[in-house]
Amino acid sequence: MSAPRTTAGTLVETPEQQALRRAVADLAARFGPAWFQAKARAGEYADELWAEAGKLGYLGVNLPAEYGGGGAGITELAIVLEELGAGGCPLLMLVVSPAICGTVIARYGTEEQRRRWLPGLADGTRRMAFGITEPDAGSNSHRISTVARRDGDDWLLTGRKVFISGIDHADAVLFVARSEDARTGRLRPSLFVVPRDTPGFEYRAIPMELVAAEKQFQVFLDDVRLPADALVGDEDAGLLQLFAGLNPERIMTAAFSIGAARRALDTAVDYARTRTVWDTPIGAHQGIAHPLAQCAIEVELARLMTQKAAHLYDAGDDLAAGEAANMAKYAAGEAACRAVDQAVQTLGGNGLTQEYGLAALLTVTRVGRVAPVSREMVLNYVAQHTLGLPRSY
Ligand SMILES: Cc1cc2nc3c(=O)[nH]c(=O)nc-3n(C[C@H](O)[C@H](O)[C@H](O)COP(=O)(O)OP(=O)(O)OC[C@H]3O[C@@H](n4cnc5c(N)ncnc54)[C@H](O)[C@@H]3O)c2cc1C
């Protein structure tokens, strides 16, 4: 695999960030796409890569240094995920464990919760999944019906979740539920850490057409009894706390898409340079070269937007970061789907073989269009919040 053909990194990244990029790319190259896809097809987790990335400090690069993290930001964590993806070893769990759960606990957890969870999330010895999506609520998270009721000092959690990634390899799940506001009686979103072995918490794998390290699960919560300190953050600050985790999730999903897109483009360009069917390499035909060039521009633009969103988030501007993160997730999801489609086309029949690993990216990159928020919901957001158009739903 050749070096990344992109230059934006040198424009806006510090020397430390560029060094991180190179180091993570080296790590991904040591494992490689063939190893990664063989693991995924065998239904195994990429544990060796995860452990090594943890040991090298990449998994918790965004978490506070006093709890074992790297003390950097989402900018750096996005670099890690993008480079792993560009090297053919994308670890979707980075979106969830350090980016959402680690961020929420670091920002809103108690000192005890931070000490309990962050060092393990930072070095990768512990993992936390995240569950908001519900079968009956879907994109409308305001309609989630998983309820947390008080029972003495304890909480009782009841509800259902769907498409929750990586539960089988997680120590716990950070669930979004609704609790009742004691003063108004209204239901508010609240966040609870639920260890995987808690009685009443069951999960079942959903068969997915994805070649990925992580599986997705349906979850059943039946009067799951939790101690008072399972609640993360303030019961009253629900949405604000939630978005502290959801903006990093969007930025990281964008990085995931960009990594896959770069992987696809690199594979296609290498192939188009050498594959000769008539008298010249196929890459000399503009019918092959121009669409690839167009994809490279779109990926680069999406990457720039992702860097902007990450910088805004790390600078503490949550509001601006929200808009940029939505735009970045949209742009990266679209660019990745087009890049993979064009890469598959460039390889002809080889685009569909397991050897080149491109066909698997067709479904993987679709994830960036659907999750964690669909492209239609991003368009709704931009139409309303950026353009000030009336809401249609
Ligand atoms: C691989 C994968 C991993 C995932 N991991 C997690 C995870 O770890 N944790 C988690 O909580 N969730 C996870 N999800 C769930 C994901 O966030 C949801 O699938 C996503 O939010 C969409 O919800 P839905 O599937 O219910 O689609 P729906 O909400 O049913 O939407 C279906 C379609 O209708 C469109 N639509 C809905 N409402 C509108 C509207 N008002 N205007 C225009 N169009 C609309 C949508 O855009 C979409 O195209 C994952 C999903 C996938 C595929």
Cα 80 to middle of ligand 1, angstroms = 25
Token pair, residue 85, equals 């993806």
Locate the ligand 1 atom nearest the alpha carbon of residue 375 and give its number.
47
Residue found under tokens 């009336």: 390
How would you write the pLDDT of the chain (393 residues) with one tens digit per residue? Answer: 444 454 444 567 999 999 999 999 999 999 999 999 999 999 999 999 999 999 999 999 999 999 999 999 999 999 999 999 999 999 999 999 999 999 999 999 999 999 999 999 999 999 999 999 999 999 998 889 999 999 999 999 999 999 999 999 999 999 999 987 656 666 678 999 999 999 999 999 999 999 999 999 999 999 999 999 999 998 766 677 888 889 999 999 999 999 999 999 999 999 999 999 999 999 999 999 999 999 999 999 999 999 999 999 999 999 999 999 999 999 999 999 999 999 999 999 999 999 999 999 999 999 999 999 999 999 999 999 999 999 988
**What's the rounded Cα separation, in Å, for the pair 370 and 337?**
11
3 state SS of 113: helix
* Helix then strand then coil, % of the chain, to nearest 5: 55, 15, 25
Residue found under tokens 């897109």: 261
C-alpha dihedral, 115 to 121 to 126 to 129, nearest 10°: 110
pTM of the model: 0.96
3 state SS of 61: coil
* Among protein residues, the one whose CA lies closest to atom 22 of ligand 1: 139
Locate the ligand 1 atom nearest the alpha carbon of residue 161 and give its number.
11
Helices marked H in 227-317: 238-274, 286-314
| Closest listed residue to residue 164, CA positions, set 252, 96, 89, 240 | 96
Which pLDDT score, from 0 to 100, does residue 198 have? 98
Q: Find the length of the chain.
A: 393
C-alpha dihedral, 134 to 139 to 145 to 150, nearest 10°: 90
Which pLDDT score, from 0 to 100, does residue 8 have? 47
Which pLDDT score, from 0 to 100, does residue 285 have? 98
**What's the rounded Cα separation, in Å, for the pair 140 and 163?**
15
**What's the DSSP call for residue 225?**
E
Ligand 1 and 376: CB distance under 6 A:
yes
Ligand 1 and 363: CB distance under 6 A:
no
Which pLDDT score, from 0 to 100, does residue 182 have? 59
* Among protein residues, the one whose CA lies closest to atom 14 of ligand 1: 163
Which pLDDT score, from 0 to 100, does residue 240 have? 78
Ligand 1 and 108: CB distance under 6 A:
no
Ligand 1 and 51: CB distance under 6 A:
no
Which pLDDT score, from 0 to 100, does residue 260 have? 98
Ligand 1 and 333: CB distance under 6 A:
no
Of 221, 249, 370, best ligand 1 pocket probe by most atoms within 8 Å of the beta carbon: 370
Q: At what angle do helices 238-274 and 74-86 cross, to 10 degrees?
A: 30
Ligand 1 and 374: CB distance under 6 A:
yes
Q: For residue 382, which phi and psi values (nearest 5 degrees)?
A: -65, -40
Name the β-bridge partners of 180: 187
Of 221, 374, 380, best ligand 1 pocket probe by most atoms within 8 Å of the beta carbon: 374
Which own/partner pairs from 205-211 qualify as long-range (CB within 8 Å, at least 24 positions apart)? 205/168, 206/162, 206/163, 209/363, 210/363, 210/364, 210/367, 211/37, 211/40, 211/41, 211/360, 211/363, 211/364
Cα 389 to middle of ligand 1, angstroms = 23
Name the β-bridge partners of 225: 156
Cα 183 to middle of ligand 1, angstroms = 33
Cα 2 to middle of ligand 1, angstroms = 35
* Among protein residues, the one whose CA lies closest to atom 6 of ligand 1: 164
Q: What is the DSSP string of 115-183?
A: HHHHHHHHHTSS-EEEE---TTTTT-GGG---EEEEETTEEEEEEEEEEEETGGG-SEEEEEEEEE-TT
Report the 10 Å Cβ neighbour count for 229. Answer: 14
**What's the rounded Cα separation, in Å, for the pair 171 and 360?**
28
Locate the ligand 1 atom nearest the alpha carbon of residue 141 and give its number.
21
